[in-house]
Amino acid sequence: MENLVNQQQLATYYKGKKVFVTGHTGFKGSWLMAWLYQLGATVKGYALAPEYDECLFNFLEPLNIGETIIADIRNKEKMQYEILSFQPDYIFHLAAQPLVRRSYKMPAETFEVNAVGTANLLEIVNLLEKKCTIVIITTDKVYENKEQDILYNETDALGGYDPYSASKACTEIVVSSFRNSFFNVEKTGQHKKAIASVRAGNVIGGGDYSDDRIIPDIVKALKQHKPIEVRNPNSVRPWQHVLEPLGGYLLLGGLLNEDPLKYSGAYNFGPNPTDHLTVKELVQLSIDTWGNGEWKDTSDKNQPHEATLLKLDISKAKKILNWQPKLNATAAIEWTINWYKTTNDIPAFTFQQINDYMNL
């Protein structure tokens, strides 16, 4: 069967549709806004203001690719007004406190934003009287990580050592509860809602300037001609370019809208099982693509706990959605570093990478 993450297929789902995106000022959210704009959707974003002046959202903002509402997902009244007045056909929920190390500094707020914020959204969705398809973005870290060389699938136990991971596992439980209590797939004809949750691995790509993330740390050091400080060089991660999971989300959203009974549930999106790299391999490939640089090990036994080994089983997405990763880890790193190297029109380069990806 044909891989469906292409311009023609996705446009049949989203062209002329209203799409509400939470967290659209963030790294993944900005890429999703750009992609939906290219597909001809009418997009409304709801998120906090971007944390950094230099970010993909600010590069794209002058193009007016969608409406922007700056607000907190914990403000249920505000979000309710924005959703009900917009009457979306689709909702992609990305708004979150997304950083592991930050979750140690603000654990209660992390749970509040990630779990309660999602409950706020779904409670509002229950007030929508029209058909609506909802994709909730969580993380690969929702699984009870045994730190073993195994692939986690969608039926494995949820868990979470750190507050971020645990809060996202709680988010999955919230989604499951609302699906069972209010949006049961057997009664879709009555409530007209379809819900799926998606779990992606370590996503990289241009436009990410967040603290405590490996690619921004690499790029910052390279631009300043300083050694790259690497905390966990031997940790293994399912690295993937941001367009990989986003393509999966968009594909799932379209299919879910057509057949909620078949496609509702949870899905992993990640690289192929043989395509996992260590942090130090990622760093060295980044240096090679940049053209120069060096790195040093700054591991500290007293640093907050972060998982050292985590791999995803993506066979469900392959079988049910006919989704396949298009870029291996090496290509993902090259695409990412080349984005940061560009001195030309950054929005144009971003749209070109989306087009190039859909044409693979």
CATH of the domain at 97: 3.40.50.720
User: Does 324 map to a domain?
Assistant: yes
Digit-coded pLDDT (tens) for 197-247: 999 978 999 999 988 789 999 999 999 999 999 988 988 787 999 999 999
201: phi > 0 → left, psi -120 to 50 → alpha, else beta; which?
beta
Q: Is residue 335 part of a domain?
A: yes
Residue 22: inside a domain: yes
> Structural domain tally of the chain?
1
The range of the structural domain enclosing residue 287 comes to 7-358
pLDDT for the residue 159 = 92
What integer pLDDT is reported at residue 235 of this predicted model? 84
Residue 1 placed within a domain: no
Tens digits of residue pLDDT in 276-302: 888 999 999 999 999 999 999 988 766
In the predicted structure, residue 305 carries a pLDDT above the cut 60:
no
Judged against a pLDDT cut of 60, whether residue 138 lies above it is answered with yes
Q: Which helix (H) or strand (E) holds 302?
A: none
Q: Does residue 75 lie in a domain region?
A: yes
pTM of this structure = 0.95
Pairing of β 265-269 and β 240-241: unpaired
Q: Are 76 and 120 in contact (CB under 8 A)?
A: yes
2 falls within a domain? no
What is d(CA 50, CA 169) in angstroms, rounded to the nearest whole number?
25
